[in-house]
Amino acid sequence: MTVILGQTFTGVSIGAVLLLIALGLSLTFGQMNVINMAHGEFIMAGAYTTYVLQKSVSDAGLSLLVALPVAFLVAGALGALLEWLLIRRLYLRPLDTLLVTWGVSLMLQQLARDVFGAPNVQTRAPELLTGHITVVGGADPLTFANSRLFILTLAVAAVVALSLTLRLTPLGRRIRGVVQNRDLAEVSGISTERVDRTAFFIGSGLAGVAGVALTLVGPIGPTMGTNIIIDAFLVIVVGGIGRLRGTVIVAFVLGIMQSVLEYSTTVSVAKVLVLVAIVAFLQWRPQGLYTLRTRSLV
Amino acid sequence: MTELSGLRVRGLRVSFDGFTAVDGVDLDVRPGDLRFLIGPNGAGKTTLVDAVTGLVRASGSVRFEGTELLGRSVHRIARSGIGRTFQTATVFEELTVLQNLDIAAGAARGPLTMLRRRRSVPEPVARALETIGLTERSGSPAGTLAHGQKQWLEIGMLLVQDVRLLLLDEPVAGMSHDERQATGELLRRISAERTVVVIEHDMDFMRSFARSVSVLHAGRVLSEGTVAEVQSDPRVQEVYLGHAAVQDAGPTAAGPHPEHAGGAHAGSAVQEV
Amino acid sequence: MTEPTSAPGKGNPLKRAVPAGRSARAAAGFAAAALALFALAPLALSDFRLGLLAKYLCTAMVAVGICLAWGRGGLLTLGQGVFFGLGGYAMAMHLKIADAGPGNLPDFMQLYGTATELPWWWRPFANPLFTIAATVLLPMAVAAVLGSFVFRRRVRGAYFAILSQALAAALAIWLIGQQATTGGTNGLTDIRGFFGYDLDDPVNQRMVYFVIAAALLLLVALARQLIHSRYGELLVAVRDSEERVRFLGYDPANVKLVAYVVAAGMAGLAGALFVPAVGIISPAMIGIVPSIEFVIGAAVGGRASLAGAVLGAIGVAWARTALSEEFPGAWTYFQGLLFIVALAFLPGGLASLAGVVKRRRTARPTGEPAPALPLGEAA
């Protein structure tokens, strides 16, 4: 029983990380249909921001709190810059966007290598987050690491914030309007260009927040983005384009699957099995878990 | 005519997420007919064609020459002798006119033929090129054709595809008067031995060439018969007058946006009778 | 618009539709390439440089498949490393078994000391004929299974790209995890012999180069035949408007599947020949990063043009060696820049530049229609 609970919680915390890194993509890829391979490097930027801040602000807890908004701004600014420089020229060529942003991601990785060095670096977690909560005591205890709980809370908070922004604010309405009918939005007086850039700013900013969270569970390095970006894209593909709900559910389901399969096999076999499951799932629902059904030809 | 020939639609129903676009349509079109489908925007005309060709899921029954089509995949329906065109001419822009036609002619080719080069122009393709007047342009990429020529190319693709049921979605939109005339005569010739269904907003064109007309409204067949019968049907007048009585539209050709101009033309057509 | 019933012109324009000059030009290009590969390069280059060229030619073989699948079929396959790796590992397994000699385990298995006999899935690779067939057929079979799943359910465009990339990641991760039987992160290294020939001997290395050069020319000829066949025209039609093709009675899934499977076979052969040329195959050569690098050569040279893709792949591979010898970090910046410039600003690749020049030159009315439209009629 403790094993099942423990694996489930591990799965949920893997899912929370997945959710955080995929959340920004659900805006840029899910809503705007831009495949930004440099999203992983925006996560990296958020992580390095945390690292830099911790060097200047000695208190680990304070620096982490400061890092959240700063990383959001740093990654968001990078995203808006990328949108302005390259992506806006490529809105009708999604596959070319993928490769162009891959080129950007290579350059950002090398930049990180030149600035921070090739080896991974670490941050200190604040004391509050190094402990754990004991849920079941006794000989076979079940404990939850505080850092994992923090990530879970952060992920949930980010989802709520994004969802409320999209639903309630004028900006959110404009974003949804542009997504649903670009031409109509344009003639209704919405500056689609500005909306695109703002949406990209927010989506990329969320990557920065994810980067802050990742510093709590692993090392910071130039290639950290590459390793997670594919998983994040798979979450969106399986969850269904344009649906936040799908992203949330799939992130946790994949996280739990990964953790349970890891327990019964090995990490690498589990990864392969999860991928097989995804291909099988797409046989059943090629458009993902939640779909917007339309009558368009595509 | 036997029971089995032609197109036979029964109780066809198509819904998108709660909205019912086609709501129980019955339709019979026999070979030799040249049937026009008219109706205001949103009446379900294109959706009906989409359902027949397998693009959207539908319930009910669609039989062509006795074979049930619903539930088959798009390419299988096409192989059972059914071809269509689209509102916006859809041709392979990067390929030449000849290549477009050759592909349309070749769904039944075996793998060995496919893997070889095209050494000569197949006879049906050459004939179609001549019929649609694009022989001179056979080597140009289809993307360089004028709008009307693309529509002609699409019709040519249907010809070489050798289908027995043709579904044409606004085939003369944006064409000049002469071009419309030529298209109509071509359709008339084709329909002698095939079943042809045309969605059209241009009422002049319909009056000149339709052998029979079905009026769709809100996903149902409102009226059916010859042009004269349909135009004198008070229900049809009501639907169209309700839409376009105030607009004074002359019998000019539909502009580049026939969707928007359609109601007006339909209205004028009824008023003129 | 002409009258619909107009008679064909005097100099029957239909004849023009089957150009004869194109094949003559292609034959000339082919002969020049053969001359360069078989005579000039071996004479002009040192053994070391010739070995490097052999390596570049292997990436060019992958690029030929990418040209077909992506340039012509619109299938951005970011997982060619998988097929390259399958071919490479199949060949390397045979060569390791052969190096170890009958009855012995490959060196790395003895080192880890876990296995006492060959794993069952290694055993068939002791047979050279099985291995040679497997290097091509195994990738094709994997591609066929995966492709028939994916294409039939109309997973396409970016989804296909991401899925194929995930596949590359998964295979690399799996190989790393199976240290005892695959060599893990190190891969299969220290390959000494190639079907009985000692690879330390420069003469045999040259032989490997010639085999690779011949294989590349063979693949180019094969791809050219496919591209100019009716199938090749249909493939472009599927790329440009899949739904329209469906309404003509074709199943686009099958059309795409052929291109994908052929491209996989080409990558498999490339991987198999890469192993004797370089002496190693490892997960680092087949994961996400190398898989996407296979694409860049084709993108720079011109994805839809065979000559462009091949020359682009060789050029990029060469630039990589040249630049990273001098300035290791600079290569990555340069590579990133290549992706950006080639795809954002020159989507037809360098081949499209040649096309522009050519079109300007042959503006005479009698001239052959310019063949090098970047995405259309490229030779």
* Positions of E strands within A53-168: 132-136, 142-145
Residue the block writes with tokens 């350059």: A107
- Nearest chain A residue to C289, by CA: A226
For residue B249, the SS3 value is coil
Structure tokens at A110: 């090398």
Q: Give the minimum alpha-carbon distance from C245 to chain B in angstroms, rounded to a whole number.
A: 8
The amino acid occupying position B75 is H
Touching subunits of B (3+ CB pairs, under 8 Å) are A, C
Strands B67-68 and B82-84: unpaired
Of the spans A109-118, B171-180, B247-256, which averages the highest pLDDT?
Answer: A109-118
What lies within 8 Å, CB to CB, of A95 at 6+ separation is A35, C74, C76, C157, C158, C161
Is the pLDDT at A213 greater than 70? The verdict is yes
Contact C94, C195 (CB under 8 A): no
**Interchain CB distance below 8 Å, A268 and C333:** no
Q: Give the minimum alpha-carbon distance from C235 to chain B in angstroms, rounded to a whole number.
A: 10
- Nearest chain A residue to C172, by CA: A268
What average pLDDT does this structure show over B178-202? 87
A250 compared with C379, residue with greater pLDDT: A250
What lies within 8 Å, CB to CB, of C102 at 6+ separation is none
Task: Tell me the CA end-to-end span of chain B in Å, nearest whole number.
Answer: 32
Is the pLDDT at A289 greater than 60? The verdict is yes
Is the pLDDT at B244 greater than 60? The verdict is no
Dist. CA A223–CA A208, nearest whole Å: 15
Domain residue ranges of chain A, discontinuous segments joined by +:
2-284
Of the spans A29-33, B42-46, C58-62, C347-351, which averages the highest pLDDT?
Answer: C58-62
Q: Give the minimum alpha-carbon distance from A207 to chain C in angstroms, rounded to a whole number.
A: 19
Of the pLDDT bands very low, low, confident and very high (cuts 50, 70, 90), residue B259 is very low
**Interchain CB distance below 8 Å, B121 and C231:** no
Q: What's the CA angle centered on B267, arms B265 and B268, to 5 degrees?
A: 65
Using one digit for the tens of pLDDT, what is the confidence trace for C259-304? 999 999 999 999 999 999 999 999 999 988 899 889 988 888 888 8
Using one digit for the tens of pLDDT, what is the confidence trace for C4-38? 443 444 445 555 444 567 778 888 888 999 999 98
Dist. CA A199–CA A166, nearest whole Å: 10
**CB of C328 less than 8 A from some CB of A:** no
Of C177, C338, C344, the CB nearest to A266: C177
Contact A151, A16 (CB under 8 A): yes
Contact C348, C358 (CB under 8 A): no
Q: Give the minimum alpha-carbon distance from B91 to chain C in angstroms, rounded to a whole number.
A: 8
User: How many other C-beta atoms are found inside a 10 Å radius of the C-beta of residue B193?
Assistant: 9
Dist. CA C131–CA C95, nearest whole Å: 9
- Mutation to test the C interface, candidates B53, B92, B162, most C Cβ within 10 Å: B92
Specify the DSSP element, H or E, that contains B24.
Answer: strand B19-29
Chain A residues near any Cβ of chain B (below 8 Å): 293-295, 297
* Positions of E strands within B41-175: 59-64, 67-68, 82-84, 165-169
**Interchain CB distance below 8 Å, A295 and B56:** yes
**Interchain CB distance below 8 Å, B16 and A297:** no
Using one digit for the tens of pLDDT, what is the confidence trace for C203-229? 999 999 999 999 999 999 999 999 999
Dist. CA A201–CA A76, nearest whole Å: 4
**CB of C18 less than 8 A from some CB of B:** yes
Specify the DSSP element, H or E, that contains B23.
Answer: strand B19-29
Contact B22, B46 (CB under 8 A): no
Return the biggest CA–CA distance within chain A: 68
Is the pLDDT at B254 greater than 60? The verdict is no
Tell me the Cα Rg of chain B: 19
**CB of C284 less than 8 A from some CB of A:** no
What average pLDDT does this structure show over A155-162? 93
What whole-number percentage of chain C has pLDDT above 70?
87
Task: Go through chain A and tell me how many residues it has.
Answer: 298
Is the pLDDT at C374 greater than 50? The verdict is no
Dist. CA B52–CA B77, nearest whole Å: 8
Of C57, C52, C18, the C-alpha closest to C309 is C57
Structure tokens at A5: 């609970």
pLDDT the model gives residue C235: 95
Averaged pLDDT score across all residues of chain C = 84
User: What class is the A2-284 domain?
Assistant: mainly alpha
User: A-contacting residues of B 55-74, CB under 8 Å?
Assistant: 55-56
pLDDT the model gives residue A145: 81
Positive/negative CA dihedral, B52, B55, B61, B65: positive
Half-sphere exposure of B221 (CA within 13 A, CB side): 19
Averaged pLDDT score across all residues of chain B = 82
